[in-house]
Structure 1
Amino acid sequence: MDLGLQQKTALVFGAGGGLGGAIAKALAAEGAAVIVADINLDAAKATAAAIAGAGGHSRPIGWDLADLSVIEANIAGIEADFGGVDVLVNNTGGPPPTPAAGQDPALWLSSFQSMVLSVIAITDRVLPSMRARKWGRVITSTSSGVVAPIANLGISNALRLSLVGWSKTLAREVGRDGVTCNIVLPGRIATPRISFLDERKAEREGRSVADVAAESTGSIPVGRYGDPQEYGDVVAFLASARASYITGSVIRIDGGLIQSI
């Protein structure tokens, strides 16, 4: 299937590894030029090297989402060299595991800026050119916690949920301009973030990491953690010309883990 991503430019955040890296590689494999953005430039370079090794085209860039002041210069540079962003993949890091109650307001504020406000500001910056070209894709990766809140991820559950409402509202505003906006939810995908969360849970409960992982996989209908490539492939489809009638949606990539309808 030709996904129609040749000659398109994609900007992928958190692309130095994990889900973002898998998404960047999947888009590049379909012919898109990928801007590999990550707070860790060395990690971004490693993903870009892997893309180049597979015959794809990409450019790494160091980008701290908490710093809103760099948005204009970074996007202007991409527009000058690539002609604009056709596919935007908003993929941010998560806050530390915490209960919902009793957290320092400063932590809420810093997390909001890096996880929510940055996403909105960057999307607002690239939307005018998408709308002018009558083609664009805004895909935001959040968490299964937005439909089934996860224990001890109070900040993540709350802030990521705000992006669902924003994306749904935006989809209605820009749909007639050929721009789609969708949310993707990972279940238990085998990334360093999941390993970290398993380790923290094991520490809290005085159990082994292997026991925690076994319990987690036991609750997944397909019986395993997901492969990051499986996640990247779904995002590549949503970014494609073939997915032009999918917008305002929340897509679960979870192996059946989320029990709510």
Structure 2
Amino acid sequence: MNLNIKGKKFLILGASSGFGRHVAQRVHDEGGLPVLVARSEDALKDFKEKNASSSVVCADLFSTEGLSKVLDVIEATDFYGVLINAGGPPAGSFPMDDMAQWDQGYDVVLRWKIELLRSLVPRLESSGSGRIVFIESVSVRQPIDGLILSNVFRMAVVGLMKSMVNEMDQKDVLMNILAPGYHRTNRLENLIAKQSEEQGRSETEIADNMAANTPLKKLGDPASFAELAVWLLSPQNQYVTGQIIPVDGGLAKGV
């Protein structure tokens, strides 16, 4: 399928590894012009060397300075699509150790996205069209044990996205949330390592147990996930907006 993204620019956040890097690669392979944002300068340099038509911005989205750098890029560049993606808050269970961790959860999952969208959405509206895809978590459909901060604040992102879509009267700016389950990403590997340490079980056993919780009995492939993300970011998506789309191998049991 021709996604009709040749020559269009896409801002890809959290692009050093995992979902973000796979989406950036797919955009490039389809003829799009990805602008990658991540903290890892080495990972960005590696991508740029392999994909000459890409651009990179080394920035920490969780810092004031880093977010300002990305907002400057948004103000200076016309993007067709934006992938809003970044790592999550620390793992843990209620009530956590202190309230500062709850403040951190808000900052890491929600606050910077609001600030980004305040700058981004008016530019997309004035250009006449655009696509935004959030990568959140299956926790927006079914809470994940040991990830209380992610469970709480990612649900707030759903409320933000749905409210904004309802205000997009006759605007060709489409927004959707992808809710991945267990995929072979660095984030998952870190979670597996933490659970292994806490539970005294091997990492292989933890990973196998995660896979066993899905009807498919396997972990997801982030490259396959990227195929759907890029379609949602493309002009081929003309009527899908305001949706929370699980990509979880059937992990979430709700209707």
Aligned to 2:31: 31
Choose from 125, 130, 139 the match for 1:131: 125
Aligned to 1:260: 254
**CA offset at residue 131 of structure 1?**
0.5
Q: Is the 8 A contact 1:38 1:63 kept in 2?
A: yes
Choose from 58, 61, 83 the match for 2:57: 61
Give the secondary structure class of the aligned counterpart of 1:11. strand
Q: Is the 8 A contact 1:79 1:85 kept in 2?
A: no
One-letter amino acid of the structure 2 residue matched with residue 18 of structure 1: G
Aligned to 2:103: 109
Choose from 180, 205, 211 the match for 1:217: 211
Stretch moving more, 182-191 or 208-217: 208-217
Q: Name the count of aligned residue pairs.
A: 255
Identity %: 28
Alignment partners' CA distance in 2, 1:130 and 1:243:
16
Q: Is the 8 A contact 2:83 2:133 kept in 1?
A: yes
> Structure 1's 254 and 213: CA in aligned 2 closer, same or farther, altered over 3 A?
same
The CA deviation string for residues 70-116 of structure 1, in whole angstroms up to 9 with x for no partner, is 54553334554xx4122111101111111121332222222312321
Give the secondary structure class of the aligned counterpart of 1:210. helix
Aligned to 1:160: 154
Q: Is the 8 A contact 1:88 1:123 kept in 2?
A: no
The CA deviation string for residues 163-202 of structure 1, in whole angstroms up to 9 with x for no partner, is 0110111112125211001000111110111111111112
Aligned to 1:200: 194
Aligned to 2:239: 245
One-letter amino acid of the structure 2 residue matched with residue 201 of structure 1: Q
Aligned to 2:18: 18
Work out whether 1:235 is the aligned partner of 2:229: yes
Stretch moving more, 99-108 or 185-194: 99-108
Gaps (5+ residues) in structure 1?
none
Aligned to 2:42: 42
Alignment partners' CA distance in 2, 1:45 and 1:174:
37
Alignment partners' CA distance in 1, 2:209 and 2:67:
42
Aligned to 1:151: 145
> Structure 2-normalised TM-score?
0.94
The CA deviation string for residues 195-231 of structure 1, in whole angstroms up to 9 with x for no partner, is 1111111211111111111111122222211111011
> Structure 1-normalised TM-score?
0.92
